[in-house]
Chains A and B, each alone.
Chain A
Amino acid sequence: NAGVTQTPKFQVLKTGQSMTLQCAQDMNHEYMSWYRQDPGMGLRLIHYSVGAGITDQGEVPNGYNVSRSTTEDFPLRLLSAAPSQTSVYFCASSYLGRNQPQHFGDGTRLSIL
C-alpha cells in the first residue's frame, strides 16, 4: 500500500521556470490538498480538492495552479517560479468528513535560484 506518493523528492529551478509537482494516492480518498512548509512556520494550505473536477484555493494560492482530473492524482503547477516559492511541499489526502485525518506524502523539497 503506497499511500500518498510525491515526485520528485528534490528539485532545483531557476527563477521564471515552470514545473509540476506530482501527487498520487491509492486509498480512493476524495479530499486532497497541497501545503507548503517554510522554516519556523507551520504548514500552510495552498489548494485543495473535494473530488475529481473540483478544486478551491487555500491560504496561499498565488503563483500555483491545480487540477483534479482523476480521484488519484492532484498535481501542483508552479507557473513562473520565484525565490519566495522555495519551500518544502506536502501533499495530503483523506476521506471526506470532518473527523477524517489526513495522510501526508514525504514531501518535495524545492529550491528556486
Chain B
Amino acid sequence: DQQVKQNSPSLSVQEGRISILNCDYTNSMFDYFLWYKKYPAEGPTFLISISSIKDKNEDGRFTVFLNKSAKHLSLHIVPSQPGDSAVYFCAASHRSQGNLIFGKGTKLSVKP
C-alpha cells in the first residue's frame, strides 16, 4: 500500500506561471517531508524540506506547504522556468525511523 502518493504523473505549465505539485500521505507518523528534483540520466537532487511543526517553508522560487489535517503537501514554483522541467519526487520519513519513503514522481514540463 502506497504511503506517499503523487497522483499526477505529469504537469505542463507555461514559463513564468506558477507550478503546483501535490503529494498526499497516509501514515500519520510521518513528520518530515522533502522534495527532490530529477533530470534524465542523473540522480535526484534535494530541493526543499519541511518539518511537521511548520506549515510553510520557502527557498527562493520554491515554497512547500504542509496541511497535516489533510495529510497533504504541495510544492509551489513561482515563476516557473524551462530549466525546472524535471521529475519531482515527494518523500517522507517518520520519527521512529529515518529512512525515506518516496512517491512515484510528477514530471513537470515548463514550456517557453
A42 and B105 within 8 A (CB): yes
Q: Count chain B CB atoms within 10 A of each CB in A42, A92, A98, A99 and give the residue with the most.
A: A42
In this complex, how many residues of chain A approach chain B with their Cβ under 8 Å: the count is 24
Binding site of B, secondary structure by majority: helix, strand, loop or mixed? strand
A sample of 5 cross-chain residue pairs with beta-carbon separation below 8 angstroms, ordered by A number, consists of: A42-B102, A90-B43, A102-B46, A104-B36, A106-B41
Expressed in whole angstroms, the minimum distance between the Cβ of B32 and any Cβ of chain A is 6
Rounded to whole angstroms, the CA-CA distance of A40 and B109 in the bound complex is 17
Interface positions of A (Cβ within 8 A of B): 4, 31, 33, 35, 40-45, 48, 58, 90, 92, 97-99, 101-107
In this complex, how many residues of chain B approach chain A with their Cβ under 8 Å: the count is 24
Interface positions of B (Cβ within 8 A of A): 4, 6, 9, 32, 34, 36, 41-46, 49, 51, 89, 93, 95, 98-100, 102-105
Q: Which residues from A are CB-within-8-Å of B49?
A: 99, 101
